[in-house]
A and B are shown apart, each in its own frame.
Chain A
Amino acid sequence: GDSVTQMEGPVTLSEEAFLTINCTYTATGYPSLFWYVQYPGEGLQLLLKATKADDKGSNKGFEATYRKETTSFHLEKGSVQVSDSAVYFCALSDRQRGNNRLAFGKGNQVVVIP
């Protein structure tokens, strides 16, 4: 079935550093791709999305580009802040199936040190 794979392990970096979190997907249909963020003690929030190949989603300084040729949707931010510390989930939903049930990656804990 449809699935998402995120890079293993937490990410620890200093404030103002560049952040990249890798995400690749496997899907038979025409997936929409998402990044969700989970701050401590809270539910998931949609960070950004892209619904077709070559679309770029962006929000709060984060960006991700839907790359069909590499089946990837990597998340990037040029200069992170301590407030960006959270767990980040890549996800997809299959448009062809016409269903919004999301398949999530396992998430990456990001810790930004002042």
Chain B
Amino acid sequence: DSGVTQTPKHLITATGQRVTLRCSPRSGDLSVYWYQQSLDQGLQFLIQYYNGEERAKGNILERFSAQQFPDLHSELNLSSLELGDSALYFCASSVGQGDYWEKLFFGSGTQLSVL
């Protein structure tokens, strides 16, 4: 058990809808990262938050947004969903602001299916 909790584990929705994925980092970790894993794109970095502030941005669509709350949990919001958004979404956490020596701990993911 990595200590990173993601909910829900599975989510099935329709095109055009909006969903929220939730992540609770390991106790004491200040950074949260979101990754998308799809069959065609592989594992892609979306965004990182450190202590409530956006720290780094990757291949995140404008329809997607994220935030990190004062209790350090994070939410990834996906709107106007398309079939191609179906993927496994991982959250990871690390202790600091994301320096290269920090170990990342991954949650078990949220499987999103857009029908």
Q: How far is the CA of A95 from the CA of B102 in the complex (A)?
A: 11
Give A89 to B55 CA distance when docked, in angstroms.
24
Interface size on A, residues (CB 8 A): 23
A44 contacts which chain B residues (CB < 8 A)? 43, 90, 92, 104, 106
A100-B90 contact given A32-B100, A43-B109, A94-B100, CB 8 Å threshold: no
Contact pattern, A 30-50, Cβ under 8 Å of B = 1, otherwise 0 = 001000100001111110000
Q: Are B100 and A99 in contact (CB under 8 A)?
A: yes
Closest Cβ of chain A: how far from B62's Cβ, in Å? 19
Tell me whether A100 and B99 are in contact (CB under 8 A).
Answer: yes
Please tell me if the beta carbons of A107 and B104 are within 8 angstroms of each other in the complex: no
How extensive is the interface on chain B, given as a class?
20 to 34
Residues in B whose Cβ lies below 8 Å from that of A94 = 100
The reply to whether B101 and A51 contact each other, CB–CB distance below 8 Å, is yes
Map CB proximity to A onto B85-115 as digits: 1 under 8 Å, 0 otherwise: 0000010101000111111101111000000
Pairwise interchain contact B2-A101, C-beta atoms closer than 8 A: no
Contact B45 A43 (CB under 8 A): no
Which residues on A are within 8 Å of B, measured CB to CB? 32, 36, 41-46, 51, 89, 93-95, 98-107
- With A43-B108, A100-B104 given, name 11 new contacts (CB 8 A): A43-B90, A43-B92, A51-B100, A93-B100, A95-B100, A99-B55, A100-B33, A101-B33, A101-B48, A106-B42, A107-B42
10 interchain pairs, CB-CB under 8 A: A32-B101, A41-B108, A43-B2, A46-B103, A99-B100, A100-B31, A100-B94, A100-B100, A101-B98, A102-B104
